[in-house]
Amino acid sequence: MLYLQEQHLMIRQTVRDVVAKVVAPKAREIDETCAFPWDAVKALGELGLLGVPVPEKYGGAGMDNLSNSILIEEVARHCGSTALTIAAHVGLGTYPILAFGTEEQKMRWIPQLASGQAIGAFGLTEPDAGSDAQATKTTAVRDGNEFVVNGAKMYCTNGSYASTIVFTAVTGTDAAGRKQITAFVVEKGTPGLVQGKLEKKLGMRASDTRMIHFEDCRIPVANVLGGEVQIGVGFKKFMQTLDGGRISIGALGLGIAQGALDRALPYAQQRRAFGGPISDLQGVAFKLADMATWIEGARHLVYHAAMLKDADQPFARQASMAKLFASEVGTKASDMAIQVMGGYGFVREYDVERLYRDAKLCEIGEGTSEIQRMVIGRSLVKDGCGF
C-alpha cells in the first residue's frame, strides 16, 4: 500500500518473522489446551512490540497506531488468541493510563507494561451491564484516603495475568440522580481482588478470560485514573478507550480473514477435481475473489481509522466502521475458507475451523456489531455523511 512508510514495512516484516518462529507453531496446541501464550508474549516483549504506540519516554517503541494495527493483523493471521492478548494489553490495559493518567501514574505503570514485563487488563462489562455500560453496579465508596470497592467485572481479558487492571465503579450520583462513574487502577495482589474461574469459550481459547470480583477491596485515592479531580468522570474516558480499541479488534478480524485466505487459496490451487485444480472452477474462484475483495476493503478501513487517530483527527465513526466491517469479514471469510476446503476445512489439522471459531468474538467484544451500527447511525444523524 502506498501510504505504508518504511517503519510500517519494517514492523510488518519483524512481526512476520517472530510469528513464524514462536506464534504459528504453537497456535493449534494452545487452542486445544487453553494455555496462555507466554512464549509469544515474552518474544514480542523482548522486541519492544508490546508498547508499539507508547512514547519512548515511557519505555515504548514510540511508533504509531497504524504500526500497532499491522502488528495485531499479522499475529491474528496465525493465532487469534495471541492477537487478542496483545490487543487487550495495549489498547485497553495500557492506553487509558497513557491517555488519562497523571504523570506520576504513567511513570509508575507504563514502562513495565510497554516493555512486556507486565500485562494490563480492562474491566467494564458486568453481569447486568454489557452493551449498556452505564448500568454498571460495581461501587467504590470513599473512606479517607481509600475507596472500598465491591462488585464484579465479567469477561476480563488477561484478568489473571495482569499486574494492573483499569476498571470503572460508581462513586456517587449527580444532582439529576445519574450515576457518577470513576475509573481506577487496581494492582494484582490487592486484598479483596479475587479472580474467578477461567471461562470455557467457543474460540480465542488461549486468551485468558475470567470474572474479577471486588470484595471490600481497598484502593488508594492515588489510584483514581487521572487523580482526584477525575472522580465521577471516568465513563467518558472508557468510551474514548473503546473507540481506539475498536481499531485493534478490526485489525484482529482482518488478520483472521487474511489467514483464512492464506490457507484456502493454496489448497484450491493444489486440490484437483473434474480434471484440474478446483481454483479453476467458477464456484470456487468466485469465493476466493469475494474473500480477497472483502479483505482489501477491511484493510483500508482499519488502516484509515488508525491514521486518523495518529493525526489527532476525529475517528470514532471510522473506528466503528472498521470494527464492524472487518469483524464480519473475519467471520465470512473463515466460513468461506471452510467451504472451499470442504471436509479438510472442517477438521482441526487445517486450522481454518479455529480461525472460524476465533472470528466470532470480533463481532461481540468491544461493542457488538449492533452497537457499531448504532454508533455509526447516530454519528450520521448528528454530523452528516462527512463528505
The set of cell numbers assigned to 192 is 479483596
Given a contact cutoff of 8 angstroms between Cβ atoms, the answer to whether 148 and 75 are in contact is: no
Q: Pick the catalytic residue: 56, 103, 366, 370?
A: 366
Pairing label, strands 193-198, 209-220 = antiparallel
Place of cell 481506539: 244
The phi and psi torsions of 130 (rounded to 5 degrees) equal: -110, -95
Full DSSP string of 171-227: EEE-TTSPEEEEEEEEETT-TTEEEEEEPP-SS-TTS-EEEEEEEEEEEEGGGBTT-
The set of cell numbers assigned to 331 is 467471520
Q: How far apart are the first and last CA of the chain?
A: 23
Q: Is the dihedral of CA 109, 115, 116, 120 positive or negative?
A: positive
Examine the residue annotation and report whether 228 is marked as an active-site residue of this protein.
no
Full DSSP string of 93-115: IIHHHHHHS-HHHHHHHHHHHHH
Catalytic residues: 366
